[in-house]
Structure 1
């Protein structure tokens, strides 16, 4: 069978073969060799950006890689300026991988990776899924995700799904009728694994529970289920294991970085130490001992197109006491939970649906700094946002159009521009909250 997945990466200019070789080398380092590799990579990436990236060298001032603790903590606010001002020398929109963050932390921005760094991201994903006998070139994925609803965006995603052997279950409407249709697909298709947003997959499991159905009895080819983008609570994990009859694997990542942590076959949440360096810091940006909670700060060791050095991702976590530099274990992730919106028609939509809606607000000019959406009544929502300039009626119409399309018509939205948004006691901005 043609290795379509690898081929599609190669055709898009991502040197996947070279990346797989390098990743394999890093994985087989001893602890000692790894520590040496890590120190060299940290120094190399900082020196590169100090020399070739004006945005980073201005931010860092006189700090150097030798005094790691003095390097600035990069925040999402720092990144809210046009991408051109943040790219390294010799990188432009022509020779990078370009994308937007989901804004699930409420602070959206456009980012870049160089092609080799992105190939390494894919190599790392391929390796980790391989722990569970999943091969992207041959395994068939049941994908619980959103999809752009405009014609071109929709066709593009569907074509990507074809190339990467995925069947997509759009998660904008998760009413029982739709979930029943999902179930029928599992009866007729030979899926190898499930991948997608936690809350949507949990809703599907609850539907199966109500109907006394065990999924791998209906679809015996299923090997594993990978949940991502939202918290998986212990009670939900037990429900998934019971209703699906397969291992449930937690994934924690960020589009601008990489897979950050991935549950290994021993049930440990293993941090990706091959392409990232993860630190847990206190309020004053000092390292905390393993076993203590703090903010997660991450350095991308290979991305030369755009600096992500000591980047504060907006999550709180705890490293396990038994972590080593080569094999750090995430003991607990605190943060990133999403509600489900219940609409007048009875339709249920995960809070992440709003990511597809708010994407229409997010322009590269960085005007909208942050936003949150609150459901105040069954048909009423408030969007609070922080921006340099107020949204104009044309933008509001565009958002309302997107809401009609993705959710349903006749919902009432009010837009309030604020100078600051309220945060949780952990400093986390919850992008969607339901007050119902």
Structure 2
């Protein structure tokens, strides 16, 4: 059978064979060789952008005597200027891979990758999915994602799906009637794996639970489910494993970089150390030791078109104590830096703490399908939720008590029941938002 996926990459000018060969070389380096490889790659990419990228030269104030630790931290605000001003010499908008970040951090921007760097991204994806016997050329994907709603964008995405052996389930409307239609597709199509946004896949699993169905029994060809783009809570992972009857693999990535971490068959969240270099920094930009929580800062080792050197992605995380340079393990992804709740006492708390506490109470009877929390004032929060029946005063009181216990007392809540929750234009559900 023709390898349509590899072929479509090649036709678009992405040298996938070369990228796969280099990736194999990197993976087979000894620990000592890897340390040398990483050092060389870091020096090489900095030197390249200092010589060829006016935007980066300006950022480092034209100094080329800086040690790695002294290099500036790049953030999303730095990158919000026209792409032409950020492209390296010798690259034009026609000969790079172009895309836009999802804007889930509130600061979207357009970025470029040179074609070889993008081919390496795909080689890395192919290798990691291969750990679970998934092959992009032959395996059939059930894709839970958004889709452009304009005619041309919609048709283009559907054609890309066809080439990539994917069937797309758009996630903008996830009412029971729509989920029932999804289920019918699993009865008639031989899917090998599921891939998509955590929140919509969890919602589908709740629908199966409600109807006492196990997906693997309905669609026996299924091998694995990969969730991405949103937090996967332990309780949700258990639900997915139970209702799908297949392994659930957690991935963490960023469109402007690559897959950042991918759960390996041992259940560790293994960082992609082949194409990226990941550091954890404190608020003074000092590198933290393994085991300490801080800002996730990432360097793209191969992207020559656009510098992503010591780039603060806006997430908070911890690298495991057992990490090595060659095999860093992400112990925990705490959440996004901008999703922080400021409380009247002056305390700062990750917005996901609210979400987590509320979730532990709200879901024990399966009535509430989804909810989001919005902070409107220092002491005021709105909880919007989708459910079969409205929350009663006893349940509301329980939530308020738990939040008072975990966070602080005297906070005010309003609860609004909705038919559907608003998602971003990509179809993601933003669990916590602060308008402060």
TM-score over 0.5 (shorter chain)? yes
| CA distance, structure 2, for counterparts of residue 38 and residue 115 of structure 1 | 21
Is the 1:55–1:86 contact (alpha carbons within 8 Å) kept by the matching residues of 2? yes
SS in 1 for 2:67: helix
1:7 deviates by: 0.2
Which 5+ residue runs of structure 2 have no aligned equivalent? 337-350, 356-368, 373-380, 387-418, 423-429
Question: Residues 24-55 of structure 1, C-alpha deviation per residue, up to 9 Å, x if partnerless?
Answer: 00000011000000000000000000010000
TM-score, normalised to structure 1, is 0.79
Indicate yes or no: 2:84 matched with 1:78: no
How far 1:196 moved relative to its partner?
0.1
Q: Which residue of 2 aligns with 1:207?
A: 207
Q: Are the equivalent residues in 2 in contact too, given 1:191–1:219 (CA < 8 A)?
A: yes
The SS at the match of 2:178 is helix
Query: What's the TM-score once normalised by structure 2's chain length?
Result: 0.79
Equivalent residue number for residue 283 of structure 2: 283
**Could you tell me how far 1:162 is from its partner in structure 2?**
0.4
Distance between the aligned counterparts of 1:116 and 1:307, measured in 2?
Answer: 14
1:331-366 C-alpha deviation (Å, 9 max, x unpaired): 000115898xxxxxxxx8998xxxxxxxxxxxxxxx
The 5 Å alignment of 1:200-349 reads: 200-336=200-336
Distance 1:55 1:40, change over 3 A: same
Q: 1:157 maps to which residue? A: 157
2-structure distance, mates of 1:376, 1:242 = 28
How far does residue 375 in structure 1 lie from its aligned partner after superposition? 7.4
Residue in 2 aligned with 1:170? 170
Superposed counterparts of 1:29-428, under 5 Å: 29-64=29-64, 67-336=67-336
Note the C-alpha offset of 1:64: 3.9
Q: Is the 8 A contact 2:203 2:370 kept in 1?
A: no
CA–CA distance in structure 2, aligned partners of residues 165 and 192 of structure 1: 10
Q: Report SS of the residue matched to 2:139.
A: coil
Partner deviation per Cα, 1:377-421 (whole Å, 9 max, x = no partner): 789xxxxxxxxxxxxxxxxxxxxxxxxxxx99xx9xxxxxxxxxx
Sort the Cα spacing of 1:224 and 1:376 in 2 relative to 1 into closer, same or farther, 3 A: closer
Q: Structure 1 residues 170 and 431, CA, compared in 2 at 3 Å: closer, same or farther?
A: same
Residues 6 and 16 of structure 1 are in contact (CA less than 8 Å); yes or no, is this contact kept in structure 2? yes
Q: Which ranges of structure 1 fall in alignment gaps of 5 or more residues?
A: 340-347, 352-373, 380-406, 412-429
Retained in 1: the 8 A contact 2:136–2:164? yes
Is the CA contact 1:65–1:71 (under 8 Å) kept in the aligned structure 2? Answer: no
Offset from partner CA, 1:101-154 (integer Å, 9 cap, x none) = 001111110000000000000000000000000000000000000001111000
Change (3 A) 1:324 1:376: closer
CA distance in 2, matches of 1:65, 1:254: 30
**Does the CA contact (< 8 Å) of 1:63 and 1:71 recur in 2?**
no
Shift of 1:376: 7.8
Shift of 1:62: 4.9
Q: CA deviation at 1:433?
A: 3.6
Q: Judge conservation of contact 1:376–1:434 (CA < 8 Å) in 2.
A: no
Distance 1:278 1:378, change over 3 A: closer
**Aligned mates of 2:65, 2:166 — CA distance in 1:** 42
Seen in structure 2, the aligned counterparts of structure 1 residues 350 and 311 have a Cα distance that, compared at 3 Å, is farther
**Residue aligned with 1:331, SS:** strand
Q: What SS is found at the alignment partner of 1:221? A: coil
Q: The residue matched to 1:238 in structure 2 has which SS?
A: helix
Secondary structure of residue in 2 paired with 1:190? coil
> 1:151-199: CA deviations, max 9, x gaps?
1000000000000000000000000010011011111110000000000
Alignment partner, residue 390 of structure 2: none
Task: Say which structure, 1 or 2, has more relative contact order (CA 8 Å, 6+ apart).
Answer: 1
Provide the alpha-carbon RMSD of the alignment: 2.6
157 and 73 in structure 1: CA distance in 2 versus 1, 3 angstrom threshold: same
4+ residue runs over 6 A deviation? 348-351, 374-379
Q: CA separation of 1:53/1:233 partners in 2, compared to 1, >3 Å: closer, same or farther?
A: same
Say if 1:318 and 1:330, in contact at 8 Å, map to a contact too: yes
The verdict on how the C-alpha distance between 1:65 and 1:203 changes in structure 2, with shifts beyond 3 A counting, is farther
Q: Distance in 2 between matches of 1:318 and 1:66?
A: 27
After TM superposition, give the deviation of residue 281 of structure 1 in Å: 0.4
Report how many aligned residue pairs link the two structures. Answer: 362
C-alpha distance 377-329 of structure 1, shift in aligned 2 (>3 A): closer
